[in-house]
Amino acid sequence: MNVLETKDLTYTYGVGTPFEITAVDGVSVSVEAGEFLGVIGHTGSGKSTLIQMLNGLIRPTAGQVLLNGEDIWAKPKEIRRVRFKVGMVFQYPEYQLFEETVLKDIMFGPKNMGLSDADAEAKAREAARFTELREDLLEKSPFELSGGEKRRAAIAGVIAMDPDVLILDEPAAGLDPKGRDLILAQISNYHRERQNTVLLVSHSMEDIGRTADRVLVMNRGKAEFLGPTRRIFAEGQELSEMGLRLPQITSILRRLSGMGMPVGDTVLSVDEAFFQLLPLLKRGGGKGAGA
Amino acid sequence: MISDITLGQFFPGSSVMHRLDPRVKLCMTVYYIGLIFCSRNWITLALTVLTALSGVVLSKVPAKLYLKSLKPIWFLIAFTGILNLFYGSGEPIWSFGFLSITRAGIINAVMIAVRLVVLILISSVLTFTTSPTQLTDAIERVLKPLALLHVPVHEFAMMMTIALRFVPTLLEETDKIMSAQKARGADLESGGLAQRIRALIPILIPLFVSAFRRAFDLATAMESRCYHGGAGRTRMKTLHLGRVDYGVLALCAAYLVLFVLLTALLPAAI
C-alpha cells in the first residue's frame, strides 16, 4: 500500500523568465505506508522542493502527488487537510515558535485542525513525550529553552497533529553530536511506536544509514536511486560522483573487505561494524589488531 | 510570492546609467522630480516624459520590470487622478449633484497622473541601476555638509545600508516562517479583517525575534572588527567623477535653461 505517490512530478522556478530552473524533473516514486524513507541529495539536488510539493506547500508545475491514491490538488481549497495528514518539519524549525508557552505552541497545529482545547492539549502532551520535553518546560516561554529543546518543541508541534506521514528536513542540522543522536533516536522511537510513515531528508549518509529502511537519492532534480538502504550503500562510486560520501565507517569496512577481510561492505553503523570486527580481534593475529 | 516585489531593487548591468557616478544619479533624480512638479504646460511635461523614457531606455533594464514597479501604485495614480478631476475651477462640462467636472479638472487629472508615472519611472531608473551600497555611499557624500550642523550623517547612512542589506534576507525569512506555519495549518488566506490580522501573529513574532537576533549578531560582528562610527574611516572604493559624469551634469544645466525658457514663454495649460 502506497501512502504517497508522485507521478512525473516537476517543478520549475521562474517560468517565462531568463532565470528558469527546473528544480524537480519528472520524479515518479512511491512511499510505502509505515516505512522509514531517507531522502538524500547534494545541496541543490531538489530534495527540499520535492518535499514541499508532498504536503501541498508548493503546487507542481507538472505531474501529480497522490496521497492515499487521491490527487492532493483535486480540490485546491481543501489543501489544508493535506497538510494535516502530511506533517512537515522544516530546517531550523525552532524559528517558528511564537506562543507564550511551549505547550500552547505545540497546540497550535491541533487547534488549527479544529480540535477542542482539551483534545489539543492531550495531543500536545503526547507529542512532548515523544520528544522528551520535561513537564516543567511546557509551561515556560519557548524563548527560554536551550537550542536543542527549542528544536524538540518545534518537532513536537508537528507530531501533535498526528500526521500519517511525517517529513523532517535536516532535523539534526547545527546540533552537537549528542543532540543529534538524541533527536534521531526520538524520531526512530516515534516511528516504531506509531508505525507511521517517516521521511527523513538529510545530506548525511551517517544519519540515513542509522535510521532509514529505504533511501531515495536525488541528483539534479531527478530521482536517481530508490531502494533498501544497504543496496544504495553498495553504490559507493556513483554516490561519490553525486557529491555524497559514504559514512566513514562504511568506507573503512569496504577497504578492509577489499583487503580480503571477512567483513560486509555495506555496513550501516558503527555498532554494526563493532560486531563484525570483534570476532576478528578475538581470533587474534597482528593483521586483525592493525585494523 | 513575496519575493516578487520589485520596487527599489537593483538590476545588475553595465549600461551608461549603471556606470554613472551614483552621486550624479542621486542629484539628477532629485532635480528631475523637482522639475516634474514645476512643469506647467504640455511641452515641458512632454519634455520630462521624454527624459524619463530615455533614462529607461539607456538603463537597458527590461521594460517589464518598470511596468512591475508601477503595478503597486496604479491604484494611487487612479485615485489622485479621479480626485483631481472634480477639483477644477471654471465652467463645468458635466455635473451631477455636488460633483462637477471642468476642463481645468480634466487637465489637472491628466497632468497629475503623468507626473506620478514619470516620478516612479525616474526613481526606478535610479534604484534599478544603482546598488544599495552605492546609493547609500552617494547619500552619505551628498549630505556630508550637514555633519557641520551635528547631524549624524554617517550613522544614518550606515543604518540605511544595513536596512537595505537585510530587506531580501528578511523577505526570505518571512517566506520560510509562512511555509512553516502553513504546514501547521495556519490559515492566512480566508476570514474577515480581524481574523486575518490575528493570523499574522504567528508570523510576525518569529520574524521580530529573528530580526533582533540578527541585529545583535551583526553588532557583535561589527564591534569585533573594531567598528566605532564614521570618524577617520576611509573607503575601499572612492567615488570619482569621470568625463561622462561631467557631460551629464552639463546636459542637466542646459536642460534647466531650456525648461525655464519654455515655462516662461509658453502659456500654462490651465
Say how far apart CA B35 and CA B44 lie, in whole Å: 9
Choose, out of A15, A80, A90, A96, the residue to mutate when testing the contact with B (most B CBs < 10 Å): A96
**A251 conformational bin, left if phi > 0, alpha if psi -120 to 50, beta if neither:** alpha
Q: Say if residue B126 is in the same domain as residue B17.
A: yes
Ranges for all domains in chain A classified under CATH 3.40.50.300: 2-246
Chain B residues touching residue A57 (CB < 8 angstroms): 179, 182-183
CATH for A2-246? 3.40.50.300
CB contact under 8 A, B185 and A52: no
The strand pairing partners of A2, in sequence order, are: A32
CB contact under 8 A, A83 and B182: yes
For residue B243, what is its C-alpha cell? 568625463
Closest CA to A212 of A220, A224, A204: A204
pLDDT tens, position by position, B94-153: 777 777 788 888 888 888 899 999 999 998 899 889 887 788 888 888 888 888 888 888
The 10 Å Cβ neighbour count of residue A207 is 24
Domain count, chain B: 2
Q: Say if residue B193 is in the same domain as residue B83.
A: no
Q: Say if residue B4 is in the same domain as residue B119.
A: yes
Burial tier of A74 (Cβ tally within 10 Å: 0-12, 13-18, 19+): exposed
* Residue B141, domain member (yes or no): no
In this structure, the strands spanning A62-67 and A2-13 are: antiparallel
* Residue B215, domain member (yes or no): yes
* Residue B137, domain member (yes or no): no
Q: Say if residue B4 is in the same domain as residue B101.
A: yes
- Structural contact between residues A229 and A239, judged by C-beta atoms closer than 8 angstroms: no
3-state helix, strand, coil in chain B (%, to 5): 75, 5, 25
From B3, which residue of chain A is nearest by alpha-carbon distance?
A14
Q: How many angstroms separate the most distant Cα atoms in chain A?
A: 69
Domain containing residue B208: 152-236
CB contact under 8 A, B183 and A108: no
Say how far apart CA B161 and CA B164 lie, in whole Å: 5
Task: Give the pLDDT confidence score for residue B153 in this predicted structure.
Answer: 86
Chain A residues touching residue B208 (CB < 8 angstroms): none
pLDDT tens, position by position, B225-240: 988 877 777 777 788 8
DSSP structure class, residue A95: G
For residue A248, what is its C-alpha cell? 566513514
Q: Say if residue B13 is in the same domain as residue B110.
A: yes
Closest CA to A94 of A159, A31, A151, A12: A151
DSSP structure class, residue B269: -
Chain A residues touching residue B181 (CB < 8 angstroms): 96, 108
Q: Say if residue B4 is in the same domain as residue B96.
A: yes
* Residue B135, domain member (yes or no): no
For residue A127, what is its C-alpha cell? 507529542
Chain B residues touching residue A113 (CB < 8 angstroms): 185
* Residue B51, domain member (yes or no): yes
| Per-residue pLDDT in tens (0 to 9) along chain B, 270 residues | 444 444 457 888 888 889 999 999 999 999 999 999 888 888 889 989 999 999 999 998 888 888 888 888 888 888 888 888 887 777 777 777 777 788 888 888 888 899 999 999 998 899 889 887 788 888 888 888 888 888 888 888 888 888 877 888 888 899 999 999 999 988 877 778 888 888 899 999 999 999 999 999 999 999 999 888 777 777 777 888 888 899 999 999 999 999 989 888 888 776
Q: Is the dihedral of CA A58, A59, A62, A67 positive or negative?
A: positive
Residues of B near A (Cβ–Cβ under 8 Å) read 173, 176-177, 179-187, 201-202, 205-206, 209-210
* Residue B126, domain member (yes or no): yes
A200 phi and psi, to 5 degrees?
Answer: -110, 115
